[in-house]
Amino acid sequence: MKPSSSLQKRLGLGLTLGTTLLWLAATVGAWLVVQHELNEAFDSALEETAQRILPLAVLEISNRENPSEAQHVATLKMHKEYLTYLVRDAKGEILMQSHDANPKIFNQQPAEGFSTTKKYRLYGASALRETVFIEIAEPLEHRREAAREALLALLLPLLALIPISLLGTWLFVRISLRSVLAYRRAVETRGVGDLSPISGARLPAEIAPLAEAVNHLLERLRKALESERSFTANSAHELRTPLAATLAQIQRLHQEAPEGPLRVRAAKIENALRELARLSEKLMQLAKAEGGGLLSETPQDLIPLLAHVVDEWNNRSGHRIKLQLPNQTCVYSTIDPDAFGILLRNLIENALKYGAADQPIDVSLTEQAQLRVVNSGPAVPQSVLQHLTERFVRGHSEISGSGLGLAITKTIVQGVNARMKLFSPATGRKEGFEVCVWLPLA
């Protein structure tokens, strides 16, 4: 499945890219306008220069002893001329020129008005009834350089605008999506068993209907699960009394019956009723694990709870359980004591039932609230191991059991936001089975 992209990232990049493209379009438009205005200004400067120089040139030529002799106008200070000019007669003979003028760049015959060559922009004017002409040339590179500098002046702010625009857009989008991000965090941090409505306050109008629909769906799901849990718990509870009464009658019948088929049949019925009673108890535990109340309002010390449950099972199993506690005196967790007791009892019962009868069961708790229950025996195949936490799945079909112990444990672990992992063979061994649970620390 293709990972979804961030709306904040898409909006930030999209708005920044859009702003940049608009700025570039505006820059190009402004540059075209500036280039047009620059050409008009330079043309006007050429025309004004010609109109100012031509009368002075005519006066200078008229006062010469030999008017037809060409004359270079001396410069007061050496400099690069952007504007060069020629003063010629109607035949094209040069009468006067600027000190840096190159006759090859001008037209062969003088003419009035504007003209353009590959490298120069020219302007010509005449005086004395078109007997004296002046032509002024300006390099086009000069105009291009001015246009480039104008374009650079427009583009340079864009280099600073892009990161500023990106940062500003990102902040604006983040602030605008603050309610959406809060809604997302509320959904992400919600526990597996928490089906209460999610607050959708201050959500945008486009997302508010979605949040309302999610709350309606959660409400329907909560009612359906509550109905299922209530049915399971009530059924298991209601079965207790008739099962206990029937079991007592069967036990009495078993004692009063003479040796023979009747006593054997009574013993089988008694075992079946005991299994049914254990299944009823497991169903009640499963109903509690799937319901609320798995977390305690105040942190609980796990060490005395663990020691009490282990002592209880040691008295039943002939002290087969070895308990290892951390060096520190207290390990506080947010798990509910009853939920912890159900989890621990199921793990120990599972280890005693499926472990080697002549080997001890190792139960340990670390300072980081890591609970380990390890039993000896043949290793469980990986194909079976990954399905052991499913309901009504057992590792050895020849051993009696309901197949709900690890399923109840997994449900409690998910309900308290803890982690559980199964190992077979056990860590550091060549055989055995290990359940490791990382409980939530206070």
**2-13 pLDDT tens trace:** 666 777 788 888
Assess whether pLDDT exceeds 90 at residue 19. Answer: no
Contact by Cβ (8 Å): 363, 321: yes
The mean predicted confidence, pLDDT, of the chain is: 82
pLDDT over threshold 60, residue 398 = no
Reported as a single tens digit per residue, the pLDDT across 263-304 is: 888 888 888 877 777 777 777 767 667 666 677 778 889 999
pLDDT at 253: 79
Q: How confident is the model at residue 73 (pLDDT cuts 50, 70, 90)?
A: low
pLDDT at 372 over 90: yes
Banded model confidence at residue 374, pLDDT cuts 50, 70, 90? very high
pLDDT of residue 61: 79
Structure confidence by residue, pLDDT tens digits, 85-139:
888 888 888 888 887 788 888 888 888 889 888 888 999 998 888 888 889 888 8
pLDDT at 438: 92
For residue 350, the model assigns a pLDDT of 87
Q: Report the pLDDT value the prediction gives residue 270, as an integer from 0 to 100.
A: 80
Digit-coded pLDDT (tens) for 187-204? 887 765 567 788 877 888
Q: What is the pLDDT averaged over residues 15-40?
A: 86
Q: Is pLDDT above 60 for 252?
A: yes
**Per-residue pLDDT at 236:** 62
Report pLDDT for 89. Answer: 85
Give the residue-averaged pLDDT of 359-373. 91
Rounded to the nearest 5 degrees, what angle is found at the Cα of 97, between the Cα atoms of 94 and 100?
130
Decide if pLDDT at 323 tops 70.
yes
Q: What is the pLDDT of residue 335?
A: 87
Q: Compute the average pLDDT of residues 232-254.
A: 75
d(CA 18, CA 210): 29
SS3 322: strand
Q: Residue 1: is its pLDDT beyond 60? A: no
Whether the predicted pLDDT of 231 surpasses 90: no
384 or 225: whose pLDDT is higher? 384
What are residue 364's DSSP bridge partners?
324, 372
Give the separation between CA 337 and CA 352, rounded to whole angstroms.
22
| Placement of tokens 């010509």 in the chain | 124
What are the DSSP calls for 83-139, one per residue? -EEEEEETT--EEEEETT--GGGS-SS--SEEEE-SSEEEEEEEETTTTEEEEEEEE
Q: What is the mean pLDDT of residues 176-181?
A: 84
- Residue 387: the pLDDT is 82
**Distance from C-alpha of 131 to C-alpha of 90, rounded to nearest angstrom:** 5
Residues in a beta bridge with 435? 373, 422
**What pLDDT sits at residue 7?**
77
Which of 246, 300, 244 shows the shortest CA–CA distance to 416? 300
What does the pLDDT read at residue 373?
93
The closest alpha carbon to 384, from 375, 397, 371, 373, belongs to 397
> Of 290 and 184, which is predicted with more confidence?
184
Domains in the chain with CATH codes = 7-161 (3.30.450), 191-292 (1.10.287), 293-442 (3.30.565.10)
DSSP strand E in 231-274: where? Answer: none
Q: What is the mean pLDDT of residues 154-167?
A: 82
Q: Residue 421's pLDDT is what?
A: 92
| pLDDT at 65 > cutoff 70 | no
Give 398's Cβ-side CA count (13 Å radius).
0
Beta bridge pairs of residue 375: 433
Contact call for residues 370 and 325 (beta carbons, < 8 A):
no
pLDDT of residue 436: 94
pTM above 0.75, yes or no: no
